[in-house]
A and B are shown apart, each in its own frame.
Chain A
């Protein structure tokens, strides 16, 4: 049915952290596919498992984390059945990652030139230094940074420039999948926008797939074609990004997020937080983990984990959709505020 080629396939992936207070289920039964040329957003609050998932895909998990279930395939190859040596060449040439903090992702005592050249030379041993340097110049051009900065150290550059360089290094070997873990969170909005525009441009030119991880709902909804929403380690919804607005059928958590964010639209809209607080992973609620905060929680939600339901534009894990059209999303309508000047 689906003729597109998946670049990333997660099948029933679960990740557990061993902690002094017992095992912590950080990611549970996640199924997700990212296709060629596609930008998929991954949204979640802190502790929802989104970064754990990114690290699991790259096989960069911390020592106390284990993949307890499922398979992760990139370009059809199981990441966890490779030898260390295979993994070393596979990483970066087929899947690369952009980390949140560019300052820590770059080596502070190496020039930019050395860091880019090293990337090429360790993966393409036959490449001469001169050739690698030429490629480095091209890369900087691609992310619109003057080549005079090749001889600079990371601390001499602004945050935005550093993040551009990290992106340049990530796409240096033309991987088919780039995971971006909150790549612009530390930057201010104007710089963020110009970097996102640039990522989009590069993505179109080079045709790699992006898994874009962020907690910023509006940003992801704008940037990605498809959005996976994580809550307490599970992907509770996988939706077409264009449908992420009120009025469409969604998971109650998604609805809650849509209501919780102040937006810079011409018309002012009342916002409303989600009651309660993010779940404690050591002590997850039974049934649907979202039920203590959900306005629709019924008895079934407290006992039974909901199944996935295919809606018009989304896959949703929620009891509301158990019966055909069983859900009656009777939320108070979003009121338009005409804020008085009191």
Chain B
């Protein structure tokens, strides 16, 4: 396939939250200097532990959150600080699917109304047209027979079916980009594959771009074209899925590989502390230094930047080459 242009461009994204510490106002930066690109029809999988900043990045991309610094460009438009009607218009471009399908649907609304609301607001048309679109959406996400599902309430559905409704609702505005924040982690194992398969089909049929947020490397590899590993709000490693699988460089990535159940990676796993990374603004050094089995003095003093070690394979570690 021909080289496509980047549909989403994120440059030096930084998100800052105020906290109070010992009576003084300070800031934490759960996302610090993160840059990446996503092409049309491409899936970028964002992998990291809880607190690594992956959901915060997702939220700032659909602009539920406003970034503190840096820029977010989607389809050539700078959406970093848009407001009002511009933001409303942007909702037609980017949509989000949340982790918890029990919390993201309104319990007192029928499924039909869940879909009619965005259709009316963003696409309009006569009642018959909207009803037809509802039917198409239900069909598309595999909730059939449609007439039975129209009148149902969320509590009558299983987790997998609810997530299908959430996906249909995101599709209602005909978006180009979907942020899927752990869409399968709350679902039963037997239905996860079905949801991933549906998202794959939608990607193919509508040339959708995804930011797929997950803590599970195995599903990131399965669904993602590229994988970006996050720790303590910074990018540790980013590579095409195949390249990352072939040769993970960063110590954190390698720890995750070895720790994932069912993996056939036998990288010895030295004991590390499990204290949370420091997220305070102005921190220096590698965020992973306190847990890294290979840490050296330089890691605590100098923040490593991303370096390209193989084609499209970037690693933020001073000593990456020496470790593999």
Which A residues are within 8 Å of any B CB, using their own CB? Answer: 45-46, 144, 158-161, 188-194, 197, 215-219, 221-222, 256-257, 259-266, 268, 271-275, 277-278, 293, 339, 341-342
Report which of B193, B260, B271, B274 forms a contact with A161, defined as CB distance below 8 A: B274
Stretch from B67-75, B211-219, B316-324 contacting the other chain? B211-219
A45 to B262 CA separation, bound complex (whole angstroms): 18
Q: Are A158 and B276 in contact (CB under 8 A)?
A: yes
| CB closest chain-A residue, reference B265 | A264
Q: Are A193 and B258 in contact (CB under 8 A)?
A: yes
Minimum CB–CB distance for B313 against chain A, Å:
14
Q: Are A277 and B260 in contact (CB under 8 A)?
A: no
| 16 pairs from A and B in contact (CB 8 Å cutoff) | A45-B190, A159-B274, A188-B215, A190-B49, A190-B272, A194-B269, A218-B261, A219-B262, A260-B192, A260-B193, A264-B245, A264-B257, A274-B193, A278-B158, A278-B188, A293-B190
Q: Which of B193, B197, B260, B274 has the most CB of A within 10 A?
A: B274
The dominant DSSP class at the B interface is helix
Q: What would 20 more interface pairs be, CB under 8 Å, given A190-B252, A342-B41?
A: A45-B189, A160-B274, A161-B274, A189-B216, A189-B256, A190-B49, A191-B49, A192-B259, A193-B258, A197-B269, A215-B189, A217-B262, A221-B261, A261-B189, A261-B192, A261-B193, A261-B262, A268-B245, A293-B190, A339-B242
A273 to B193 CA separation, bound complex (whole angstroms): 4
Minimum CB–CB distance for A218 against chain B, Å:
3
Indicate if B104 sits at the interface (CB-CB under 8 A).
no
A168 to B80 CA separation, bound complex (whole angstroms): 48
A273 to B255 CA separation, bound complex (whole angstroms): 28
A29 to B275 CA separation, bound complex (whole angstroms): 44
Q: Which residues of B contact A341 (CB under 8 A)?
A: 1, 225, 240, 242
Report which of B159, B215, B271 forms a contact with A189, defined as CB distance below 8 A: B215
Q: Are A271 and B193 in contact (CB under 8 A)?
A: yes
A120 to B256 CA separation, bound complex (whole angstroms): 37
Minimum CB–CB distance for A282 against chain B, Å:
12
Q: Are B260 and A273 in contact (CB under 8 A)?
A: no
Q: Are B188 and A189 in contact (CB under 8 A)?
A: no
Indicate if B196 sits at the interface (CB-CB under 8 A).
yes
Indicate if B139 sits at the interface (CB-CB under 8 A).
no
Report which of B50, B161, B262, B275 forms a contact with A263, defined as CB distance below 8 A: B262
A259 to B197 CA separation, bound complex (whole angstroms): 13
Indicate if B309 sits at the interface (CB-CB under 8 A).
no
Minimum CB–CB distance for A293 against chain B, Å:
8
Q: Are B161 and A277 in contact (CB under 8 A)?
A: yes
Q: Are B196 and A271 in contact (CB under 8 A)?
A: yes
| CB closest chain-B residue, reference A262 | B222
Minimum CB–CB distance for A183 against chain B, Å:
14
- Chain B 133-169 per-residue mask, 1 if CB under 8 angstroms from chain A, else 0: 0000000000000000000000000111100000000
Q: What 6 A-B pairs have minimum CB-CB distances, sorted nearest first?
A: A218-B262, A188-B49, A273-B194, A273-B193, A193-B259, A264-B263
Indicate if B241 sits at the interface (CB-CB under 8 A).
yes
Report which of B219, B257, B269 forms a contact with A262, defined as CB distance below 8 A: B219
Minimum CB–CB distance for B281 against chain A, Å:
21
A274 to B158 CA separation, bound complex (whole angstroms): 14
A127 to B274 CA separation, bound complex (whole angstroms): 33
A289 to B102 CA separation, bound complex (whole angstroms): 25
Indicate if B297 sits at the interface (CB-CB under 8 A).
no
Q: Are A277 and B158 in contact (CB under 8 A)?
A: yes
Q: Which residues of A contact B216 (CB under 8 A)?
A: 189, 262
| CB closest chain-A residue, reference B260 | A264
Report which of B1, B189, B265 forms a contact with A260, defined as CB distance below 8 A: B189
Report which of A188, A194, A259 forms a contact with B271, defined as CB distance below 8 A: A194
Indicate if B205 sits at the interface (CB-CB under 8 A).
no
| CB closest chain-B residue, reference A223 | B261
Minimum CB–CB distance for A230 against chain B, Å:
12
A219 to B265 CA separation, bound complex (whole angstroms): 14
Minimum CB–CB distance for B144 against chain A, Å:
13
Q: Which residues of A contact B191 (CB under 8 A)?
A: 273-274, 277-278
| CB closest chain-B residue, reference A188 | B49
Q: Are A45 and B188 in contact (CB under 8 A)?
A: yes
Indicate if B113 sits at the interface (CB-CB under 8 A).
no
Q: Which residues of B contact A194 (CB under 8 A)?
A: 259, 269, 271-272, 274
A262 to B199 CA separation, bound complex (whole angstroms): 15
Minimum CB–CB distance for A43 against chain B, Å:
9
Q: Which residues of A contact B50 (CB under 8 A)?
A: 188
Minimum CB–CB distance for B107 against chain A, Å:
17
Indicate if B92 sits at the interface (CB-CB under 8 A).
no
Minimum CB–CB distance for B185 against chain A, Å:
10
| CB closest chain-A residue, reference B50 | A188
| CB closest chain-B residue, reference A267 | B264
Q: Are B225 and A158 in contact (CB under 8 A)?
A: no
Q: Which residues of B contact A159 (CB under 8 A)?
A: 274
Q: Are B257 and A273 in contact (CB under 8 A)?
A: no
Q: Which residues of B contact A215 (CB under 8 A)?
A: 188-189
| CB closest chain-B residue, reference A274 | B190
Q: Are A193 and B269 in contact (CB under 8 A)?
A: yes
Q: Are A262 and B221 in contact (CB under 8 A)?
A: yes
Minimum CB–CB distance for A60 against chain B, Å:
24
Q: Are B190 and A260 in contact (CB under 8 A)?
A: yes
A268 to B260 CA separation, bound complex (whole angstroms): 15
